[in-house]
Amino acid sequence: MRTKYLACETLRDEIEYIFHSESRNENGQKAASEKSVNFGKPEIIWLESGLHNFPKKLHNRLQESIDQVTDCDRLILLFGRCGNSSNQLKSGSFELIIPKADDCISLLFGSDQARNAYAGANAAYYLTEGWMRGERNVWVEYQYTVEKYGEKDAKVIADMMYGHYKQLALLDTGVGNIEELVEQTAVIEETLGLKRTVIPATLSYLKELIYGPWDRERYYILKPFEEVTLSSPLG
């Protein structure tokens, strides 16, 4: 089957790492996990970071991108549901696979359950190198607020927005340089009072999403011209 992917720029490092490392084994032979998708150079459509803050806009961008896909048998969304943005997405003339994960954080924790278990005991704002490059991360937002309102008011606004967080949880996916991310975020810890904590993450969910197998407990699997129906509408 000819497979294409629709992916979030936030996860670019992890996704490209998986394709690079998993497509061949140590002997340079094709990996056994290549059974379910076609390899060669993956055909990936990238959507910019930050759209998860606007579920309706993200939904529209996803649907527009899906509608433009041609010449494939299967399209895999390398996205979480992100505010139910996948609600009412319609497949084209191909199978459409969407993970039943709340967001990209759940994808990197390996499941909603693992993410919720950690979040239940820790009030954390999550970051990876990909999120730090994103247009709408916590530090970019803070600097914008400083420019608009001044540092004194910006700190008041930041406390209103982020005061309930205690941790700045840096997700270590094993991709990139976690030490550099720790150093890069020192100024956020100092300014916003969020304690930096390195959290082990996993690529297992993303690998399963890319390679399969896909079971209906963890994925929406749409036939051509079907529509996703969730229990709640877009926010």
Backbone angles phi, psi at 102, to 5 degrees: -60, -40
Q: Largest alpha-carbon pair distance within the chain?
A: 59
Angle between helices 204-211 and 12-22 (to 10 degrees): 60
Q: CA 115 to CA 103: how far, in whole Å?
A: 10
What pLDDT does residue 48 have? 87
Q: CA 56 to CA 49: how far, in whole Å?
A: 15
H-run or E-run covering 167: strand 167-172
Question: In this prediction, what percent of the chain has a pLDDT beyond 90?
Answer: 72
What pLDDT does residue 11 have? 95
Mean pLDDT in residue range 225-233: 75
Per-residue pLDDT at 230 exceeds 80? no
pLDDT band with cut points at 50, 70 and 90 for residue 23: low
What stretches of 98-137 show up as alpha helix (H) in DSSP? Answer: 104-109, 112-121, 129-133
The token pair at 142 is 């803070």
Cα dihedral sign, 42-46-199-108? negative
pLDDT in tens, 175-202: 989 999 999 999 999 999 999 999 999 9
What pLDDT does residue 83 have? 84
pLDDT band with cut points at 50, 70 and 90 for residue 162: confident
* Residue 30 DSSP label: B
Per-residue pLDDT at 135 exceeds 80? no
Closest CA to 46 of 77, 85, 71: 77
Provide the β-strand partners of residue 45. 6
pLDDT in tens, 49-92: 877 777 899 999 999 999 999 999 999 999 988 888 889 999 99
Per-residue pLDDT at 163 exceeds 80? yes
Tell how strand 167-172 and strand 124-127 pair up: parallel
